[in-house]
Amino acid sequence: MSKTQPSQKKKVAVLPGGKTPARKNLAAIKVHGLLRAYESHCMKMGSCVSTVLREDFSRCIDIQKPLTKITLFFPECSTAERASVSVCPLLCAVRDERYTHVKELRLWDLPIKHEDMADLCLLLEHKGRTVYPLTTLELLDCRLDHWALTRLGRAVALSSITTLSLDYTPIELEGLKGLLSGLEWSSHVLSLSLCYCGLGPWSGSPLASLVSRSAVRHLYINGNGLQRGGATELLQPLAEHSEQTAMTQQTTHPTDTANENSHQGLSQDSREKRVKGKGQKKRRQRVKRKSAGAVATGPWLEKLHMLDNAIDEAGPGATAAGVDLINIICVLVKHSSHLLELDLGENHVGEAGGKLLLEALIERRKAKHPPVKIRVSTRMSPSTFSAILKSSKELKSVKRKRPSRRKTKKN
């Protein structure tokens, strides 16, 4: 068999610095092609080239791995230069190169025009085109109007997105309804973050409809103004569903204390440890299967973060009929076996509310539900506050702070 002549070898792309990648490694070649296409489109459209994104491209080329997380923002741009900043060159480059390795797309503090939003939505939707399997979309402080939010909601419902974050984006009632209209019947969006979006008491009912009809299991609404009225409307269906589910389970599977104590050959302590260990393992597996399936709908949440929502004030939008928000929260804590995280920090529940919440945590432990991570304000007696912490797990915030234009971020 004759050997291949040198003149018959295929040409290999040359990377920056004169480096030639291995023939088997196509990741660096694809990233390099995406970088060239991005710079070319920036030049044609008169847009600034993000140095942060260029560094991410170069780093992936050096380590010869595909770029799976794209973060586009311009910390080095001044106010005058921001007029030439655009997301369109990046979207065009991804389409031209058919770059399907991106899993996470983060756009921070960018002016997104209607044309750019339309291009982004076409990239997300699965309608016979090249499928770009994006799972995380983050649009922070991008100033989206009603049309853009409505278009985005419809596109996300037809995409692979499981995590959607619109933090620091001012959203009014019509914009929220337009966004949620596309997400309400989604069976794959698991996490929604609307922190510091200016939501008021009017947002409680649309959000309650969302969690009742969609697969959203993680809801982050920190830094808004739901107050008691909006929080009550949001939590009411969650509490009612958890209470009804608990009553149904008790009726269908009544506890038989005689059978529980009929085990012989084991001491009381060892028997309790064994039963507790098996129960916790089964519950963890059940919760994990439900989270991974992402198809079950209904008014229940695993993570609810409501830090700093002014629910210590009655304010406008407070509900009539004397519905007590603390009692609703306690019902949710007692009976919801799905609830894993509850953030009520910087909201004044008071000493009386703290004691009710402590009793609910004790009842939850007796019901052998999974432990819940909880955070409350310190505006109560030290003894009640410490008892709540002992009866629950510590909750640490995982939300990212607002990006700064003066600092760069590495993937």
Q: Can you give the pLDDT at residue 15?
A: 52
pLDDT bin (cut points 50, 70, 90) of residue 281 is low
pLDDT bin (cut points 50, 70, 90) of residue 285 is low
Query: 256-280 pLDDT, tens per residue?
Result: 433 444 343 334 455 455 545 655 5
Q: Can you give the pLDDT at residue 256?
A: 44
243: which DSSP letter?
H
Q: Can you give the pLDDT at residue 274?
A: 56
Estimate the crossing angle of helix 88-97 against helix 27-45, to 10 degrees. Answer: 140
Query: 162-198 pLDDT, tens per residue?
Result: 999 999 999 999 999 999 998 987 788 999 999 999 9
The 10 Å CB-count burial string (b at 16+, else e) for 117-147 is bebbbebbbeeeeeebebbbbbbbbbebbbe
Q: Can you give the pLDDT at residue 48?
A: 87
CA distance 240 to 13: 62
For residue 360, the tally of other CB atoms under 10 A from its CB is 23
Q: What is the pTM of this model?
A: 0.81
Give the burial class of 9: count Cβ atoms within 10 A of its Cβ; 0-12 exposed, 13-18 middle, 19 or more buried: exposed
> What are residue 206's phi and psi, to 5 degrees?
-60, -40
pLDDT bin (cut points 50, 70, 90) of residue 83 is low
Q: Compute the 3-state secondary structure of the chain and give helix, strand, coil in percent, each to the nearest 5.
A: 45, 10, 45
CA distance 33 to 43: 16
pLDDT bin (cut points 50, 70, 90) of residue 400 is low
Amino acid 223 reads: G
pLDDT bin (cut points 50, 70, 90) of residue 74 is confident
Q: Can you give the pLDDT at residue 291?
A: 45
CA distance 233 to 214: 17
Are the beta carbons of 398 and 60 closer than 8 angstroms? no
Name beta bridge partners: 373. Answer: 341, 393
CA distance 54 to 58: 6
362: which DSSP letter?
H
Query: 326-376 pLDDT, tens per residue?
Result: 999 999 999 999 999 999 999 988 888 899 999 999 999 998 999 999 999
pLDDT bin (cut points 50, 70, 90) of residue 398 is low
Q: Can you give the pLDDT at residue 171?
A: 95
Between residues 142 and 260, which one has the greater pLDDT?
A: 142
Query: 4-59 pLDDT, tens per residue?
Result: 455 444 444 555 555 554 444 788 899 999 999 999 999 999 888 888 899 999 99
Alpha carbon 12 to its chain centroid, in Å, reads: 41
Say if strands 373-375 and 136-140 run parallel, antiparallel, or are unpaired.
unpaired
Cα-Cα-Cα-Cα dihedral sign, residues 65, 71, 74, 76: negative
Q: Can you give the pLDDT at residue 403?
A: 52
For residue 193, the tally of other CB atoms under 10 A from its CB is 21
Q: Can you give the pLDDT at residue 56?
A: 93
Cβ contacts of 268 within 8 Å, gap of 6 or more? none
Name beta bridge partners: 108. Answer: 140
Query: 231-244 pLDDT, tens per residue?
Result: 999 999 999 999 88
- Lowest-confidence segment of 207-221, 319-333, 348-362, 370-384 by average pLDDT: 319-333
Average pLDDT, the chain: 81
Looking at the chain, the whole-number percentage of residues with pLDDT higher than 70 is 74
pLDDT bin (cut points 50, 70, 90) of residue 282 is low
